[in-house]
């Protein structure tokens, strides 16, 4: 009727990760006929996993659990300072046991997502999707091929680790896709790259007792506040992580007798590095999964260099019936809660007459290095670029948190608030904290900043004593005053 074509599904979602699963659940809740396909192409070394996408299988979840595993080592050393008595020599870590425990939890999550789709009447295909035309998708498994049609599609295919074009890279090196299920102990490790993924993995590997070096091409944590990145580096060095700066790898060669991988590296075209490692973890960025979807064939535009899908504020691609969310969408923060929120709001706009757009501003985030870093809003450099140096100020303080004062190895913590001076009571446009559990702390303050909190609101807020978070209620020293913000002890 009315010239409407019948499609098998109202909505088909390509990719069963954070964003795809959230959109599927929400859309089916509005009584729509929904299908979702998810397929994990094995890593070059053959690693694969179940339903749930990057976060669940090879991202946030195993990463955070291994971060915790490594922190327990610090807790044990702190324990001695707090009067616990045990034989330190008798303490050892069993990598295989940790991996088994983490992987068995992941399996339970994979099962939970299968169940969730079933309970919500979402048809699940364990198949790789690619477009035939704007309304038709080809589904391919290792042995079968089929076709389904839908009125609308959401592309939520995420990304996968990049490999540098260097001899031996794909043959001998692992990425985060392989690390969390690796059956044997890592041994002596080289991490290549300085993104948060690189630093988090280096942090927990070192914490678990493995000799760990990080090869850095330029700066640490591009895109993050650079003063905070320096604090992370300083603390990681104090924990024993080695940094090989201004160096890129040029080749990886495996010694078949010893199993060691010899790595050569160079600085400005000159050979400057040679070292042998048991494990080389490449963490040089991620590549959006757009190449095999036949996007050019149906007119969905991707960004020429990032290869990510260009979307408007409604997550609409250049083909108006096709949407893209999560890591595959261009210029969006690559974070699980961002993908989930975008998927949920998109389904509500499609099927529940909502007009609410995803707000990509003031998304808090945390870097789970040995001492964590949490932030929301502008970095100092971004604030200066956007508003000019004269209009901003920074309240800051270095501090020793109470739990660390009687232990030997506590990191020096640091907090800062970036404010717009011209606004009455000074609008807070960025909050940064480097301390244990920074992620837990910044989450709550992000609400304040989203709601337009002023510096005066932070000052009027009564702290909880003694906590780390209370530092945000007592900041009085500005950078412009030139006064020292060093810890007073």
From residue 266 to residue 305, what is the string marking binding to ligand FAD with x (rule CB under 6 A)? -----------------------x---x------------
40 binds, among ligand FAD, ligand NA7, none (CB under 5 to 8 A by kind): ligand FAD
Question: Which of helix, strand or coil describes residue 189?
Answer: strand
Whole-angstrom distance, CA of residue 94 vs CA of residue 386: 49
The reply to whether 233 sits near ligand FAD by the rule CB under 6 A is: no
Nearer to ligand NA7, 34 or 339 (CB): 339
How is the chain split among helix, strand and coil, in percent rounded to 5?
A: 35, 25, 40
Q: Measured from the CB of residue 70, what is the shortest distance to ligand NA7 in angstroms?
A: 20
Q: Measured from the CB of residue 422, what is the shortest distance to ligand FAD in angstroms?
A: 33
Told to judge if 396 belongs to the known catalytic residues of this protein, a careful annotator would answer no
Distances (CA, A) of 340 to 19, 25, 81: 5, 10, 42
The reply to whether 339 sits near ligand FAD by the rule CB under 6 A is: yes
Q: How many CB atoms lie within 10 A of CB 437?
A: 17
Residue with tokens 């789709």: 117
DSSP states of 365-417: EEE-SSS-EEEEE--HHHHHHHH-GGGEEEEEEEE--GGGTTSSSPPPEEEEE
- Residue whose C-alpha is closest to residue 474's, from 452, 450, 454, 458: 458
- Residue whose C-alpha is closest to residue 52's, from 29, 24, 28: 24
Q: Measured from the CB of residue 205, what is the shortest distance to ligand NA7 in angstroms?
A: 16
| Residues near ligand NA7, by CB under 6 A | 164, 192-197, 217-219, 222-223, 248, 284-286, 334
Annotated catalytic residue, options 135, 387, 396, 465: 465
Q: Measured from the CB of residue 289, what is the shortest distance to ligand FAD in angstroms?
A: 4
Name the helix (H) or strand (E) containing 455.
helix 455-460
The reply to whether 39 sits near ligand FAD by the rule CB under 6 A is: yes
Distances (CA, A) of 351 to 135, 149, 325, 329: 18, 18, 17, 21
Nearer to ligand NA7, 150 or 383 (CB): 383
Kindly tell me which residue out of 197, 261, 298, 438 binds ligand FAD, with binding defined by CB under 6 A. Answer: 197
C-alpha 28 chain-centroid distance: 28
53 binds, among ligand FAD, ligand NA7, none (CB under 5 to 8 A by kind): ligand FAD
The reply to whether 50 sits near ligand FAD by the rule CB under 6 A is: no
Kindly tell me which residue out of 265, 326, 430, 436 binds ligand FAD, with binding defined by CB under 6 A. Answer: 326
The reply to whether 364 sits near ligand FAD by the rule CB under 6 A is: no
Catalytic residues: 465
Which residues sit at the interface with ligand FAD, rule CB under 6 A? Answer: 14-20, 37-40, 53-55, 59-60, 63, 128-129, 156-158, 176, 197, 289, 293, 326-328, 334-337, 339
């Amino acid at each position: 009727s009315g010239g409407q074509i019948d499609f098998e599904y109202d909505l088909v979602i390509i990719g069963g990760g954070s964003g795809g699963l959230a959109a599927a659940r929400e859309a089916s809740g509005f009584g729509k006929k929904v299908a979702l396909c998810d397929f994990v192409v094995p890593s070059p070394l053959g690693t694969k996993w179940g339903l749930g996408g990057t976060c669940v299988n090879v991202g946030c979840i195993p990463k955070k659990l291994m971060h915790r595993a490594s922190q327990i080592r610090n807790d044990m050393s702190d324990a001695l300072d707090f009067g616990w008595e045990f034989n330190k020599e008798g303490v050892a870590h069993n990598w295989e046991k940790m991996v088994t425990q983490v992987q068995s939890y992941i399996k339970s999550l994979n099962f939970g997502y299968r169940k969730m789709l079933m309970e919500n009447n979402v048809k699940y295909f364990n198949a790789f999707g690619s477009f035939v035309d704007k309304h038709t998708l080809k589904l391919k498994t290792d042995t079968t091929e089929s076709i389904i049609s839908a009125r609308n599609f959401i592309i939520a295919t995420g990304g996968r680790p990049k490999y540098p074009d260097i001899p031996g890279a794909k043959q001998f090196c692992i990425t985060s896709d392989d690390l969390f299920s690796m059956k044997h102990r890592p041994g002596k490790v080289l991490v290549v790259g300085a993104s948060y993924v690189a630093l988090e993995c280096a942090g927990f590997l070192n914490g678990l007792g493995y000799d760990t070096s990080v090869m850095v091409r330029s700066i640490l944590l591009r895109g993050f506040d650079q003063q905070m990145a320096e604090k992370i580096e300083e603390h990681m060095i104090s924990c024993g992580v080695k940094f090989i700066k201004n160096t890129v790898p040029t080749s990886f060669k495996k010694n078949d007798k010893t199993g060691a991988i010899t790595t050569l590296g160079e600085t400005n075209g000159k050979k400057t590095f040679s070292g042998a490692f048991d494990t080389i973890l490449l963490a040089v960025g991620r590549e959006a999964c757009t190449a095999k979807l036949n996007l050019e064939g149906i007119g969905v535009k991707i960004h020429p260099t990032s290869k990510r899908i260009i979307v408007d504020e409604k997550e609409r691609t250049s083909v108006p019936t096709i949407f893209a969310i999560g890591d595959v969408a261009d210029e969006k923060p690559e974070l699980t809660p961002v993908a989930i929120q975008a998927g949920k709001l998109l389904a509500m706009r499609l099927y529940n007459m909502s007009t609410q757009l995803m707000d990509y501003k003031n998304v808090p985030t945390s870097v789970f290095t040995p001492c964590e870093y949490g932030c929301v809003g502008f970095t100092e450099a971004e604030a200066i670029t956007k508003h000019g140096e004269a209009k901003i100020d920074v309240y800051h303080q270095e501090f020793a948190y109470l739990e660390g004062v009687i232990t030997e190895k506590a990191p020096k913590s640091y907090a800062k608030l970036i404010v717009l001076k011209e606004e009455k009571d000074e609008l807070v446009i960025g909050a940064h904290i480097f301390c244990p559990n920074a992620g837990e702390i910044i989450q709550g303050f992000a609400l304040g900043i989203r709601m337009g909190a002023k510096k005066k609101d932070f000052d009027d807020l009564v702290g909880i004593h003694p906590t780390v978070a209370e530092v945000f209620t007592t900041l009085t020293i500005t950078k412009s005053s030139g006064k020292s913000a060093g810890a007073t002890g």
